[in-house]
Structures are given as structure tokens and as C-alpha cells.
């Protein structure tokens, strides 16, 4: 079964490398992979330039798959489990409302038929900051009726869907709702993690850092294996 995807978008760094490693194990031709910045604002700027570069212009009905890691917002979902998004929600603070954008149903259905029991379907919440507190993750999940949280999903859906591009999202959970992870807010700068602030943030909270690294490594392994399975015939 060939997955009809024209491009894969995945957060730059380890997530991008894991997806590329997964595709390298596939014997058949695979879609091009593009590393994207983290965070809604940085991603929106990137996508405008990416689309202007004409990466999808030769496709009559372009199809894009967004992949990567995410955090759980529910006790039901654990580290290493994969979620295929139905939609993505975002809190519009200045308008005091919640906005929701839906993934392409047909493309999502094709992915679900291939992956079957390897994934669950759910709703993603996109945040413009890292959610590191376990209690806040639980509160956000209940407030927005969302299953997982990321930093890119809504922006990608909003920009690409408005142009008629079919978008599906597949993510793997790397941190659960039961534990805190380090506060790495200061390490983010213009869509990427800065090495020194990242190291300092991890050193200040060694137990939470160990948990984050362990969960991320597990999530990355699953992401790599899912990529291989998804694009193998």
C-alpha cells in the first residue's frame, strides 16, 4: 500500500533525523522531508517561504504529512504511543475563544488503515510555549478536550489547509501527564533550541531532565519505526 504523501514536515533536530533514518530503511521511493522550526510563529513564517519556493506547485492536489513528538494531556495515553490527529485546537487569547482546524479526512483515513492498532486517533492542542508542568497538562487537556499538545500543529494546518493542501498529522508521545519535565522556555529562540540554555535547564532539574531524555529517546525510536512501516510496501 503506497501512502499518497508529497512532502513530510518534521521539527528540526532529533525528530527530523529519526524520520530520515526511518525512510532510509525503506527500499521504495519516499517523499522529501523538510525540517521545520518549532513554535507557531516561526513555523508560519517558514511555511510562507517554503510555499513561495514552489515545493508543491507541481502537484495538482498536494498532500503533506506532519510528523514528530508530542506531550500527553491525558492519563490514558503513555510515552511511546502514537496519535493520528483528527483536528488541532488553539486558544486565541485576544479573541477569548478556541479555534479548531480539522485534518484532511481522506488522507488521515488512508494512514489509519495502514497503521491500524499502532495508533490512536485524537485531538491535538497547539501551544506557543513549552508545557512542562504535569498539573497544567492535565488542566489543558480537560479545558480544551484535547489528548496531546505540540507547538506546530495548528499553524501548519491553518496555513496549508487555506491553500487547499491536504494535511495529516502523526505524532508520538514523549512525555506523559503524570510527571513534570524541565522548564526549557529560555532555551527556545526563533524556532530552535539553543544549546547552552538547554544544557543549563537540564542541569537545574536533573530528575525531570532524566525523565525527559528517556521519554524522548523512546518516542524517537517509535517515530523512526513508524516511519519505516508507514512507507514500506
DSSP class per residue in 186-213: GGEETTEE-HHHHHHHHHHSHHHHHHHH
25 within a domain of the structure (yes/no): yes
At 198 the pLDDT is 56
Domain of residue 201 covers 7-231
* Count of structural domains, the chain: 1
pLDDT band with cut points at 50, 70 and 90 for residue 76: very high
158 within a domain of the structure (yes/no): yes
At 192 the pLDDT is 58
CB-based contact 31:7 (threshold 8 Å): yes
pLDDT band with cut points at 50, 70 and 90 for residue 208: confident
31 within a domain of the structure (yes/no): yes
207 within a domain of the structure (yes/no): yes
At 110 the pLDDT is 96
The Cβ of residue 8 has, within 10 Å, a number of other Cβ atoms equal to: 24
pLDDT band with cut points at 50, 70 and 90 for residue 147: very high
At 186 the pLDDT is 63
The pLDDT tens digits for 21-52 are 999 999 899 999 999 998 888 899 899 888 88
2 within a domain of the structure (yes/no): no
Distance CA 230, CA 194 (A): 32
- Domain of 65: which CATH number? 3.40.50.1580
At 53 the pLDDT is 84
Q: Which of 113-122, 175-184, 216-225 has the lowest mean pLDDT?
A: 175-184
CA-atom Rg of the chain in angstroms: 17
Residue 148: which of 97, 230, 44, 219 has the closest Cα? 219
At 115 the pLDDT is 96
Amino acid at each position: 500500500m503506497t501512502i499518497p504523501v508529497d512532502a513530510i514536515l518534521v521539527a528540526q533536530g532529533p525528530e527530523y533525523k529519526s524520520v530520515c533514518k526511518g525512510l532510509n530503511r525503506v527500499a521504495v521511493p519516499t517523499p522529501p522531508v523538510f525540517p521545520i522550526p518549532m513554535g507557531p510563529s516561526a513555523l508560519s513564517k517558514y511555511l510562507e517561504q517554503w510555499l513561495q519556493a514552489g515545493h508543491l506547485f507541481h502537484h495538482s492536489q498536494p498532500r503533506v504529512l506532519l510528523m514528530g513528538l508530542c506531550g500527553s494531556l491525558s492519563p490514558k495515553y503513555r510515552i511511546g504511543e502514537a496519535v493520528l490527529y483528527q483536528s488541532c485546537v488553539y486558544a486565541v487569547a485576544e479573541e477569548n475563544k478556541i479555534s479548531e482546524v480539522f485534518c484532511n479526512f481522506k488522507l488521515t483515513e488512508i494512514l489509519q488503515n495502514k497503521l491500524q492498532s499502532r495508533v490512536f486517533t485524537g485531538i491535538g492542542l497547539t501551544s506557543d510555549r513549552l508545557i512542562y508542568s504535569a498539573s497544567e497538562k492535565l488542566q489543558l487537556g480537560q479545558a480544551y478536550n484535547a489528548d496531546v499538545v505540540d507547538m506546530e500543529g495548528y499553524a501548519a494546518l491553518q496555513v496549508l489547509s487555506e491553500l487547499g493542501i491536504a494535511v495529516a498529522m502523526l505524532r508520538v508521545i514523549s512525555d506523559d501527564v503524570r510527571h513534570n519535565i524541565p522548564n526549557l522556555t529560555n532555551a527556545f529562540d526563533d524556532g530552535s533550541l539553543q544549546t547552552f540554555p538547554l544544557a543549563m535547564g537540564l542541569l537545574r532539574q536533573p530528575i525531570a531532565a532524566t525523565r525527559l531524555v528517556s521519554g524522548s529517546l523512546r518516542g524517537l525510536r517509535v517515530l523512526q519505526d513508524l516511519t519505516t512501516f508507514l512507507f514500506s510496501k
